[in-house]
Structures are given as structure tokens and as C-alpha cells.
Amino acid sequence: MANWETVVVETDLLICGGGFSACGAATEASYWAKKKGLKVTMVDKAAEDRSGAVAMGLSAINQYVGIRDGENTLADYVRYVRQDLMGVSREDLVYNIARHVDSTVHLFEKWGLKIWKDEKGKYVHEGRWQLMINGESYKVIIAEAAKNAIAEAGGEIIERVFIVEPLLDGNRVVGAVGFSTRENKFYVFKAKAVIAGMGGAVHVFRPRSVGEGFGRSWYPPFNSGSSAYFTIKAGAEMTCQEVRFIPVRFKDAYGPVGAWFLLFKSRAISAEGGDYMTTHKEVLQNYAPYGLVKPIPANLRNYLGMIDVDAGLGPLYMETAEAIQNIAAQFKDDPKAFKKKMKELESEAWEDFLDMTISQAILWASQNVKPEEKHSEIAACEPYFIGSHSGASGAWVSGPEDLPTPYKWGYANMTTVQGLFAVGDGSGASSHKFSSGSHAEGRIAGKQAVKFIVEKGQAPKVDMAEVEKLKERILRPLDLWDKHKDETTDPEVNTNYMMPRQYLHRLQKLMDEYAGGVVSAFKTSKALLQRGLELMDFLKTDSEKMAARNHHELTRAWENIQRTWQAEAHVRTLLFREETRWPGYYFRADTPKMDDKNWLCFANCQWDRKTGEWKMMKKDIWTMPGA
């Protein structure tokens, strides 16, 4: 076995991940931990200042309810999420996040985030729930607050350590193991409670950007399904694993469309079919009541565009020039004011990209795009797993204590495994939390995890013989490389192993062709999914044979294995749900209709740690009284 030092870290609360939800958890938990004399340790695979989905910055805070100004009620938000998710949402969780999110946003402002204000001092809204920000340094600001809170409470932050496996004592989590992505160090974390906040997953499906564009995607390439893997492997019940997210974005650089649709009131059209939201309006009748209420769910909006693409009426376009001209038109009688407004709109359009997707600004520049003069191509991206956004996949977590929800077995946001909490993209069926809601959810879980430790915490019993076996397995790709690399003239072609990139291509091909990726126009069926599972079995066997020549490739190898588990949970749940509830995210061609009678429910799954078998379950939907 590779000769790596084993570093043991003892803590009370272990926070895995350093993104928005983890930063929320760290900030809140540190406050309570300090009072109770407990230690909080936060571990990120990257550098926290620029890690996770917000690494590059964002141009809007997408969840703000506006309670203090009477803008909306909590019930409004619950209804909005129910509607967008076609009736399938954990309304207790959505409500709990919504009632905490405004105070989180106010904290962001206090910490230095610039939120746009109008002349009356009110926040500038992009849409009903969205606030415009100068967000290039959004992540740096939120990470700084988490770091300060941890430092003040005497906790520890460990960066560039990749968390791989949970450690368990029966049905109780007792820590985690991982490895340094820079040094020859294997980490063992012993903890009384653990929060999984390691984001969602990308590159499970073959991306549109391949070859020289490989690595470019809407979702950040750093998140590879670690939250899902960690909770599944711990034996936690999972939910909504079929609810992937497919955003429609500016094509090839994945630039955001929110500001165009919401702020600029732009239209999307197909090359010959006109405004597909109007021409295919009657299709929405098939998805009543959701299709008939505004805002139309994201998946249905995608679907109407896809109808035109399927009919060969692509490309789809965002009518940027028309939108800008429409806004500036109010100044048409004053040439000077008109020119000034046009300049202002033009700079807002570019800033939107420069704040969060710089590559889109570069692509526009390289293709001589002037948004005020010409429309720009948009397209449906490959599928992603992002339970905090418009997807819903994640762990099945306990609801808040004070609500009459049927889903309660302990502390809010605790999974079905004792002491293991899930947040952000890691917790399921509570979509539309976005950056602010993920942070708020992290705060909720952070406080609850400390409460769990105070009330039920036990010294973690970690079986070091088991840890030694995990170390051997986790470092095996390095050993395989060392043992066999000289046996062939090209070390990347070797019958004893495959390189992480080769494995990744195989996983992505499988998912693309059998589970409804871009190549199959997001369509799948029972027969395709069953065949996909057969092939996945072979893939999983071969995952034992991945080789790595350095730290970088060891990380890539384990990211791939984690992705594979996310993929399997997805395929199994697609197979289980015999209807098409979210066309525009995926179509079950053999069960093409929405079937409320049998499937207005959660589809949950659980992997049994003892037998290795998967169990599939339906769970009833609880509707919030008054919402």
C-alpha cells in the first residue's frame, strides 16, 4: 500500500464541505458550540474562499421572501415550490428554510455583500424572489464569516481534503475518512455528529461540451456527488433521486438566463416556430394544475422548447436585442436619454455574465455578439443533480420540531442515520433554496447538530481495523499504477487498469444513452433503464481497477466512483416511477403521461449496508395547512 501517513482528527461536529450550506452550518454551529465547549471541524476538498457552485460569484440572491416589508408570506413560497416541482416537495422543509432565509440575507449584507438598492433604499428585485447583487466576491464574503466564527469558537478548518466514506457504528455516524489532495496524508475524522454539505453532481451524464471543451458545464465541475455517495453509503434513505435538473442556458458557455427572462422580460423563440411558450400553450393542459398556473414550472418551459427542437425547428434563441429595445423604448423621444439607457442596459447584460459565468462573456466577445443588436442561441444543458436549485435529489431528512409534519424522527435535517445531517444539495425534496436558502438550511442543521451532540452525543467508537481496510481501498489506484505502469509502452493502455478519464467516459456514455441524456433527447424507458443497470454492474466491478499516478488522479478516481453511486440511485428511481411527471427534465417514453392517481408521491430509495440491496419506497405527500 502507498506509504501515506494516517492523520487522526478528533472533533465533536464534523462539517463535510465548505460551500454555501456548510458555511451556514459552520457559522451557526460555532456560535452554539462555543457556549457548550464543543469543537467544530470543517473539511473542504478545495480552498473555501472559492469553492463550490458559487466559486465564480453570482449576480443574484435567488431566495428572499421579504417578510419585513410584507412582500410575500411563507405560504406563498411553499406554493411556489410545490408548483415548480409538479406537486412533489417536502413542504415542511421548504417552510422551515423560507422562515429563516431573510435573516440570512440580512447577515450577508452585514458581512459586506452589496445588494442593489433603489432610490427609496429598497432591495432591487430581479424577480419576485430574487435580489440583484454585486456578487463577484459572494463566496469570499460568506466563507470569511464562517472562518471567523470557527476561529472564534476554537474550531478547525481543513482545506484540500477529499472526504470519501462515512464511518459508522451501527446506525450511528461516528466520522469520516478522506485523503489530502496535496500531501501524502490519509485523514480519519472521529466525530459525534456529521453534516454532509458536499454539493450535488455534474459529469454523471455526458456533457454537451466534449473534446476541447470538456470540463465546461453549467454546474461547477468540482462537485461530483459526494453528498449523495456519503449518505447512501451510510445507509440513509434518499428521496427524489429521479428529479435531475436541466437548465436552458446560453449555448456552449452556459451563461445565465434569469436576468434576461426576469429583469429584461425577454422572449425565447425557435428559429422558425416563434415563441414556443405561446405556440405550444395547449400542451400545458396535460399537466394541470401545474401547467395552468404561473410561473409555469421550469421543466414544462423546457419541454415546450424541446417540442420545437424535436421537430427540427432549432436553434432556440433568446431575443436579447428585442428585450433591450423594448426597455429603452420609453426614452425614444429623448435621443440623449435613449442612448444613455441603451448603454446602461448593455453594461448590465455583460455584468450579469462577468459576475458569474465569465466564459459566456468571452464566448460572446469571440463571436462578435452584441446583445443589443442580435439574438443569442440557448439550449437545454445535460442533466445535473442539484437539490438546492430546481432539481430535488438528496437525503430524506427529518422535519422541524414545531410543525405537524409526518416526517419527524429526531432533529431537523437529520437523515435516517443517527447523527448524520444533510444540507444544501445534500438534502432532498426542498428545492428552490439556492445560495441563501442553502446557507439558511445549513444554519438550521448546524444548530440542530449541536443540540444532538449535547443531548445524545457519545464518544465515537471507530474500528481502526476497518479504517485500515478503507485506507488500502482508497489508495489502491496509486498502487495499481505503480505495480503495472511499466508493462506497456503506453502506460495509459493497460489490461490491469483504466485511467479515471477512461472510466468517466464509460459512465457518461452509459447514462447518456440509457438514462435519457442529450444524445437520447432526454428520453428513456423501462427496457433502456434495465439494460443500463446491467451495464452499470460491469462498470462498478471495473471501478476496482481504476489507476492513479498522483493526487490529482486519485481525486478524479474517487469522484468517478461517487458519481457512479449517484447514477445508480438515479437510474433505479427513474425505473421505479412509472410516469412522466417532469417532461423537459426527462421522458419515460413507455409511460409518457403524468399519473397523479398512482404517482403523486415521493419516490424514495435506500441502500442496505449489510446486504448491498436497494429498497424502493413510495412516501405520501403532506400538504401544509393554509398553503
Give the interface with ligand FAD as residue ranges (CB under 6 A): 16-22, 43-46, 51-54, 58, 60-62, 162-163, 197-199, 218-220, 222-223, 226, 388-389, 424-425, 434-436, 438
Q: Kindly tell me the number of DSSP H helices and DSSP E strands found in the chain.
A: 17, 22
The candidate with the shortest Cα–Cα distance to 8, out of 460, 574, 369, is 460
Grid coordinates representing 62 are 435567488
Compute the least distance from the CB of residue 266 to ligand FAD, in Å: 16
Catalytic choice (388, 393, 435, 525): 435
| 5: phi then psi, degrees, rounded to nearest 5 | -70, 145
Q: Which residue, 33 or 143, is less far from ligand FAD as judged by CB? A: 143
Q: Which residue, 297 or 424, is less far from ligand FAD as judged by CB? A: 424
Q: Which residue, 52 or 532, is less far from ligand FAD as judged by CB? A: 52
Compute the least distance from the CB of residue 19 to ligand FAD, in Å: 2
Is residue 603 within 8 Å of residue 242, measured between CB atoms? yes
Is residue 515 within 8 Å of residue 532, measured between CB atoms? yes
- Rounded CA separation 4/185 (Å): 5
Q: Which residue, 180 or 494, is less far from ligand FAD as judged by CB? A: 180
The candidate with the shortest Cα–Cα distance to 94, out of 63, 58, 66, is 63
218 counts as catalytic:
yes
Grid coordinates representing 96 are 422551515
The candidate with the shortest Cα–Cα distance to 348, out of 330, 332, 361, is 361
DSSP-assigned states of every residue in 352-406: HHHHH-HHHHHHHHHTT--TTTS-EEEEE---BB-TTTT---EE-----TTS--S
126 counts as catalytic:
yes
270 counts as catalytic:
no
Q: Which residue, 434 or 565, is less far from ligand FAD as judged by CB? A: 434
The amino acid present at 30, given as its one-letter code, is S
Compute the least distance from the CB of residue 17 to ligand FAD, in Å: 3
Compute the least distance from the CB of residue 357 to ligand FAD, in Å: 7
- Rounded CA separation 260/269 (Å): 13
Compute the least distance from the CB of residue 228 to ligand FAD, in Å: 10
Compute the least distance from the CB of residue 250 to ligand FAD, in Å: 12
Catalytic choice (84, 352, 425, 441): 352
- Rounded CA separation 476/49 (Å): 31
Catalytic choice (160, 172, 280, 389): 389
Q: Which residue, 30 or 388, is less far from ligand FAD as judged by CB? A: 388
Q: Which residue, 28 or 425, is less far from ligand FAD as judged by CB? A: 425
352 counts as catalytic:
yes
76 counts as catalytic:
no
Q: CB-side exposure of 461: number of CA atoms within 13 Å?
A: 5
Compute the least distance from the CB of residue 540 to ligand FAD, in Å: 19
DSSP-derived 3-state class of residue 292:
helix
Grid coordinates representing 73 are 408570506
- Rounded CA separation 415/408 (Å): 10
Catalytic choice (62, 299, 436, 520): 62
Residue showing the smallest CB distance to ligand FAD in the complex:
19
Catalytic choice (90, 249, 439, 570): 249
106 counts as catalytic:
no
Q: Side by side, which strands form the sheet with 394-395?
A: 394-395, 238-239, 602-607, 614-619
The candidate with the shortest Cα–Cα distance to 142, out of 111, 100, 115, is 111
182 counts as catalytic:
no
Catalytic choice (51, 100, 208, 218): 218
**Secondary structure of the chain: what % helix, strand, coil (to 5)?**
45, 15, 40
Q: Which residues are catalytic?
A: 62, 126, 218, 249, 352, 389, 435
